Structure 1
């Protein structure tokens, strides 16, 4: 897929919003879940189209919800700290450029391990990885 500079920017902002406290490896795992949605056969009908479309589709990534405290940073109203955003950009570039294999085994979903109970969608899904503060899944019913 031909990604634009807007795709790269939105992708990196999403990584920062969803996984800013993670290591580079953790951000790369989150990035692969986004890429797996971009490349999924149902991308145009369900996930959205392209990186920006998938990242900003309503209710897929909570950091883009206007009520989320990260939204002010993602929208540009506040500035993301330089080093943190640079790491998210590196993760985005590595995954967009297929420079690293998918550590999630094809995951299209994840949730924060600190959640008190798994989300309903995780029941019956195949867990593929726990890395940092996230648990990853594929084959979500």
Structure 2
């Protein structure tokens, strides 16, 4: 699947909004959850179409919720610090271009370990814990 410049930008902004405090490896893992949704094999996916569609699907990545404090940064009202966005762009490009293997083992979901485990995680298969995130696949 080819990705547009919008796809690359939206994925990088999503990584900043969801994982800006993580290492490059942590951001790559979050980016892979998006890619795994993009490449789910369905012609018309529930997750959305393309990287931008998946990232901006309502209520999937909380940083895109209009009430989230990160939202004003993501839409350009406030400026994301250059170095932070640059790292997120590197992670986004590496994952979109297939330059790094999937460290998540096919995860389509994750949550921040700083919060209480969501109910969906109880019946899903945990695939990775990296930095401040726990990753899952086979989410019912």
Tell me the TM-score normalized by structure 2.
0.98
Please state whether the residue corresponding to 2:44 is helix, strand or coil: helix
Gap runs ≥5 in structure 2: none
Deviation at 1:76, TM superposition (A): 0.4
2:120 is equivalent to residue 121 of structure 1: yes
1:8 corresponds to: 8
2:98 corresponds to: 98
1:136 corresponds to: 135
1:75 corresponds to: 75
Structure 1, residues 12-48: CA drift from partner, whole Å, max 9, x if none? 0000000000000000000000000000134733100
Deviation at 1:123, TM superposition (A): 1.4
Q: For 1:8 and 1:23, locate their aligned partners in 2 and report how far apart those are by CA, in whole Å.
A: 19
Structure 1, residues 84-119: CA drift from partner, whole Å, max 9, x if none? 00000000000001101000000000000011x211
Change (3 A) 1:95 1:46: same
Deviation at 1:139, TM superposition (A): 0.4
RMSD: 0.9
Between the two proteins, the alignment pairs up a number of residues equal to 140
Tell me the TM-score normalized by structure 1.
0.97
Report runs of 4+ in structure 1 exceeding 4 Å deviation: none
Please state whether the residue corresponding to 1:128 is helix, strand or coil: strand
Gap runs ≥5 in structure 1: none
2:47 corresponds to: 47
